[in-house]
Structure 1
Amino acid sequence: MFAEERKMRNLMKYKIWYLVFSAVVILPGIVALLVWGLNMSVDFTGGSVFRYEFESGINPEDLRKVYLEKSIEVEAVVPESGNKYSVRTKPVEPQRNNEIKEGVSAVFPNSKQLSFETVGPSIGAETTRSAFVALSWAVVGIMVYIAFAFRNVPKPYSSFRFGVSAVVAMLHDALVLVGLFAILGHFKNVEVDGLFITAVLTVLGFSVHDTIVVFDRIRENLGKLPKVMDIEDVTNYSVAETLSRSVATSLTVIFTLSALYVLGGDTIKMFVLAMLVGIISGTYSSIFNAAPVLVLWEKYAAKKNK
């Protein structure tokens, strides 16, 4: 029975190609991140953002001039969907908002201010530090938890290697998201804000959840399958057992997020996009990154210890 299953679904046969594909996917994002960086929102850099809706299309330079006439330094005027624009400036005191609204209305009659928010530089710096601390603790906590949870894995296999392999897959998902938003930030002026950090942490948790399902089945099968089956055979068998469940679970989330992306408002569109891409990436990486990394590492360790 085991031989037939392995022959029918030899998924680990292409383990190197899975990793090569992942490297090809994340490479453009890494290059974009190094060259252009992320387009950080005022949540992180400090400053003010004004969002307006106009009756028809406008010249962004005319909107910029309104602010310059009031001695407010404008960093960017960004077009949004429809006739909506956002103006990003250095920090502006809330008391001046009415003055600015009157100035915009004088140049653009019937314009409507949708929102105004301002964040001081010190608060932005603190938000940035907190975001990196949260991500760092998430990585360390997940690795330690998996290493502890899989401490009873049969020897000579290592629970530490299980934990690190899961983190490698998790970091792949983070790089996919960060790289994508570096590209979108450069070409589409998409900003990274607090919702993006929320999306990244949620995706990392989802990715690890999927990986634990696969790894738990590997651990279980290491103890009950014939000893003639090596780590690659056991992993292949385990992935084949969990593949349909992982895909089915992810599809339900993907369908929901797709509906939100199409029908939801502008304020959550980029958050939903991050979640959608992250869930797809997490489903792939938990099966086709974490498992191959574990197989390659365990086989290398076994060969080294001979």
Structure 2
Amino acid sequence: MNSPPSRRKKAASTDSTNEDISQQEDPGSATITVTAVEVTELTQEEQSDRLHLERKVERAFFEAGKALAQLRDRKLYRSTHRTFEEYCRDRFGHSRRQSYLLMDAAVVFDNLMEKCDPMDHILPTNERQVRPMTKLEPHQQQEVWVKAVEQAGGKVPPARIVKNVVQQIMERTQAPNTYQLGEVCQILAKDNPELRGKGGCWGIISQVNDFSCTVKLWDGEYTIGLQHLKSFNYLPAECQQMQVICDRINRVYSSGLEESVQKFLESLGKLNRPYLTALEEKLLGVLESEYRDEKIT
């Protein structure tokens, strides 16, 4: 008995649907569509622009460090903040350590540019690659970077490789640190740009490291290599006296008084004797009194 036309149509339609479903469920019959990505060559001008912009991105930490150093050295924060550290924290969200790491890195980067820029522009691209070199002499920094680039196969080396090369040089030149806590030392700036303005200053050893000392000066603490320190060989009582003087100067200096007053305090920071004269003692006492009055108000 033949089925009515309508039923045959329905059956055919069902069979067609089942066939479609069967094909869709069969992995072997699935169709994968691949979208081709069109690659467009850059013009010579565009290629030059790209390299220029990449260099700017890579060297952003260097520009930031140089800018921070100018803000600090010229005291451009003084209209809104009493100290550079407070300014950096409020304006940039930097801790004191972050700001000084960037400034130290900029000094090293500047030094490397003199030696390494002709080498296919293989220069650091971030602060961490530079950090292990900040306590080395300029010629040692250049030596480390050249060796690190070689070990990285002619590419920008990661911080790990730089640190390993620095360690090799430090072991080769290791000298015992004979300084003691509380000892009074003079800063020898030599050709170290990090110590600009600190040559001839005296300070108190507050921490003894393997190859450097942390020294408290009239305007804060600095970590300084042994080759940039010279002991005054003061007696223990004289060292204690200078520690008191250093603390007094530091408290007044950090209070943000007039520039002329700060210049006087800076001159006290370059004394080559373990005491203040009667007039220096009197002037410092007046400034301390002014500082206390400001705190009260």
- TM-score range (shorter-chain normalised) is under 0.3
TM-score calculated relative to the size of structure 2:
0.26
**Bigger Rg, structure 1 or 2:** 2
RCO greater where, 1 or 2, for CA within 8 Å and sep 6 or more?
Answer: 1
In terms of fraction of residues, the more helix-rich structure is 1
Normalized against structure 1, the TM-score is what?
0.25
